[in-house]
Amino acid sequence: MTRSTHTKTMKQVKALQPGGPDVLSVVEGEIPVPGPREILVKVAGAGVNRPDVMQRMGGYPPPPGATDVLGLEISGRVIEAGSEVSRYSVGDAVMALVASGGYAEYAVVDERNALPVPATMTLEQAAAVPETFFTVWTNVFQRGGLKEGETFLVHGGTSGIGTTAIQLAKAFGANVIATAGSEEKCRQCLELGAAHAINYKTQDFVEAVKEITGGRGVDLTIDMVGGDYLNRNMEVAANEGRIVQIAVMKGPESTINAWLLLAKKLWLTGSTLRARSIEQKQEIAEELEARVMPLWEEGRCLPVIDSIFAIDDVVDAHRRMDADHIGKIVLTFE
């Protein structure tokens, strides 16, 4: 199969103005041309992520030079390879991280930010891997330094990030505590490998974590809530504990109890993924292939799929994202 067998235009999704799901529109666009180290992928699926919602609402623009087509992760098959591509060939099944442009029938990606799809995954499942697993790996294991035997607290345990973090932390020998917003979601966290699940709507997670840990606290917390959760995370941190902030759903401003930071000798950091360089993302991809690919090949730590929508139903997919869901939402193009 070569690109010459296809038309020059494709379906793609843009937000015509900032707002709710209804501002999304499927429009025609030109099929992108791969650069020397890029592959052109006929997209089978694209994951729907919280940053997509933020971009739709006008709060998270794509990096300079990137398309304004939504979408940060894709799966599909290579239909064309740039002149300097060495790893992938036409027909290969890949899953890849993109800075934007994932909600489209075709996408280009630097081969260094792509991974082969293991036989244990469908292309729809693979579409739910890159953004989430890259984010969890870099923040929990690279920056957070989670080690076997440590206690790990993850908020939003049934989100895409949460379901992934629980599975990977458990697989690498950590003791996982998750928070979630209902008894059913807590049950799902336990099934995924959490040792404890706290319903934050009916329990104070600070008191619950202190009870679970016998007052010691947790070694690592990953948080996407922000706001007043920051001080509460410091309260439940063990001495010399680490807190990694990956989003601020309650808002970007927090008042820090600096005494807790000092007295417990805490380590507070945060990061985003989208604006990182190709080389930085390549480093994450290489570690995922070395450390996590063997788990995928055994059928372990696979992404949890909440629902799948056709590209023409992207508005409904974002409505689902804005509502109650468990795991990842995927758009399909086949």
The structure tokens 């900032």 sit at 18
How far is it, in rounded angstroms, from Cα 285 to Cα 279? 10
How far is it, in rounded angstroms, from Cα 1 to Cα 19? 39
Contact by Cβ (8 Å): 299, 120: yes
The token pair that represents 292 in the structure block: 């996590």
Q: What is the pLDDT of residue 6?
A: 53
Contact by Cβ (8 Å): 132, 49: yes
Residues 6+ apart with CB under 8 A from 140: 146, 152, 165, 168, 169, 220, 222, 244
DSSP string, 14-53: EESSSSSGGGEEEEEEEPP---TTEEEEEEEEEEE-HHHH
Which ranges constitute the DSSP H helices of the chain?
A: 50-56, 123-126, 130-136, 160-171, 183-192, 205-212, 229-236, 258-263, 278-291, 293-297, 314-322
**What length is written for the chain?**
334
From residue 225, alpha-carbon distances to 107, 153, 241, 250, 330 in Å are 31, 13, 18, 5, 23
Helix/strand/coil for 298 = coil
Angle between helix 229-236 and helix 205-212 axes, rounded to 10 deg: 10
Helix/strand/coil for 81 = strand
- Cα 287-46-114 angle, rounded to 5 deg: 30
How far is it, in rounded angstroms, from Cα 270 to Cα 244? 5
pLDDT tens, residue order, the chain (334 aa): 344 445 689 999 999 999 999 999 999 999 999 999 999 999 999 999 999 999 999 988 898 889 999 999 999 999 999 999 999 999 999 999 999 999 999 999 999 999 999 999 999 999 999 999 999 999 999 999 999 999 999 999 999 999 999 999 999 999 999 999 999 999 999 999 999 999 999 999 999 999 999 999 999 999 999 889 999 999 999 999 999 999 988 888 888 899 999 999 999 999 988 889 999 999 999 999 999 999 999 999 999 999 999 999 999 999 999 998 999 999 998 7
Q: What is the pLDDT of residue 281?
A: 96
* pTM assigned to the model: 0.94
Angle between helix 160-171 and helix 183-192 axes, rounded to 10 deg: 40
Burial string for 81-108 (b: 16+ CB within 10 Å, else e) reads: bbeebeebeeebbbbbbbbbbbbbbbbb
SS3 content of the chain, % helix, strand, coil (to 5): 35, 30, 40
Q: What is the pLDDT of residue 3?
A: 47
Q: What is the pLDDT of residue 37?
A: 97
From residue 132, alpha-carbon distances to 117, 168, 306 in Å are 15, 11, 14
How far is it, in rounded angstroms, from Cα 48 to Cα 73? 8
Q: What is the pLDDT of residue 2?
A: 42
